[in-house]
Structure 1
């Protein structure tokens, strides 16, 4: 594919300019300048690809991020009560550490799903059986 022909008209449309179309069985090699500290997401625009984990997050200059990036004070005042109500740290990674891969001491999820029959599950099960028998009775009566 000719590079000039492939880019024709794409500079006018930002949404298409920043997208790469890959044919089935094909591949693309991306090269970019990593000079902007932050977390940048590369992803496919097909939803089940994202659900399957086919996305990539680049962490550019984590040491600069750790010292330079702070949440705006407006966010802290409006949602500070929410952060204080949960046992989760508000700095660092998910466990509160600066090291991206150190997740030791990560708190458990807030709510663990119950296993087995719950009262609402049992009620739904009985209601479905009852509805099935009523449906069969109606078919037998009018059939």
Structure 2
């Protein structure tokens, strides 16, 4: 008895055969799976796949064929725009990392505190904690009188 993954791989292999116009190999593999697979539901699914593979192919002209442009072609404006956006974001991230890697001098931190401007790396939650500590210290001095 074969493992579940092996059987899935065989189904994918049969689909790959069909996509590569190796219809005889595809149908032979489907027939083998139909006979040997232990699960009835999979055997039915494989039978449906085989039925589709054995169906007569439609003859269509080149005018009726849908073409998909390759990535990077002149028609692919979305991918070009997307890659540009990714490059812009990476450039912004590099600038932010470079700016954050330079520590602020202690004088600048005190100057920012006295001007009520947070240091650049502080968040709103950091200011909330500082404010809470100032209130607690003030309350402690007030209650000790």
TM over 0.5: same fold?
A: no
TM-score, normalisation: structure 2: 0.33
TM-score, normalisation: structure 1: 0.33
